[in-house]
Amino acid sequence: MKISYLVIGVIIAVVVFWGISSQRSFVEQQERVDEAWGFVQSQYERRADLIPNLVATVRGAADFESETLEAVINARSQATSIQLTSDALNDPNAFQRFQEAQNQLTGALSRLLVTVERYPELQANQNFRDLQVQLEGTENRISTERNRFNTAVREYNTEIRKFPSNLMAGLLGFDTYSYFEASAGSENAPTVEF
């Protein structure tokens, strides 16, 4: 009888130790995802802060198509109105809405920069060139941080989906996160006409 209590006690101790170890690992991975998300948000905020200066410079330097500028302003407004906290990262619908708003802003900025090519005096404006370089650098930073975020999400999702960790993750309420994905149509190269 004493041996069976000892065996049961050892089994319980192993399960408790495994549960604590798993929970700690999940939390560490989740914190890495949250940290990576903070870097993504920081770069999106940097882009949103650059846009009013870019629009003001374009507006002041050329009799510019107001429709293009309004599209950028509206896309920026929509993109900044959607706040996705780290608590909502595992909600695929909220994540999709956030990504769509950011993709709309990226598209509006691309159209603005293509349209600007018709205005040589604007391209010669030093303020515009500086803002364009900053915006280009920010877009590169956004891409880098999104890739880092996806790496952190992959590591976390893998950790909570592997057996037997998935058993403990389910019991402790750890859910998978969504990845950033390429926007629709991005697999097609843009056409350039002269």
Q: Which has more confidence, 184 or 155?
A: 155
Q: What is the pLDDT of residues 67-102, one digit of tens each?
A: 777 888 888 888 888 888 877 788 888 888 888 898
Averaged confidence pLDDT in the chain: 82
CB 180 within 8 A of CB 149: yes
CB 92 within 8 A of CB 178: yes
CB 129 within 8 A of CB 12: no
Q: What is the pLDDT of residues 111-139, one digit of tens each?
A: 888 777 777 776 667 777 788 888 888 88
pLDDT score for 126: 77
Please state the pTM of the whole predicted model: 0.74
Q: Which amino acid is at 113?
A: L
CB 61 within 8 A of CB 122: yes
User: Would you state the structure tokens that stand for residue 73, as one six-digit string?
Assistant: 């302003």
pLDDT score for 194: 33
Alpha-carbon span 121 to 138, nearest angstrom: 24
Of the candidates 7, 18, 12, 17, the one whose C-alpha atom is nearest the C-alpha of residue 163 is 18
User: Would you state the structure tokens that stand for residue 3, as one six-digit string?
Assistant: 């041996």
Of the candidates 133, 65, 142, 69, the one whose C-alpha atom is nearest the C-alpha of residue 102 is 142
Q: Within its chain, how far is the Cα of 87 from the centroid?
A: 14
In the predicted structure, residue 1 carries a pLDDT above the cut 50: yes
User: Which residues 6+ apart lie within 8 Å of 33 measured at CB?
Assistant: 86, 89, 149, 152, 153, 156, 177
User: Would you state the structure tokens that stand for residue 113, as one six-digit string?
Assistant: 């920069």
Tell me the angle at which helices 126-161 and 2-61 cross, rounded to the nearest 10 degrees: 160
Of the candidates 59, 30, 61, 48, the one whose C-alpha atom is nearest the C-alpha of residue 135 is 48
pLDDT score for 63: 61
pLDDT score for 78: 85
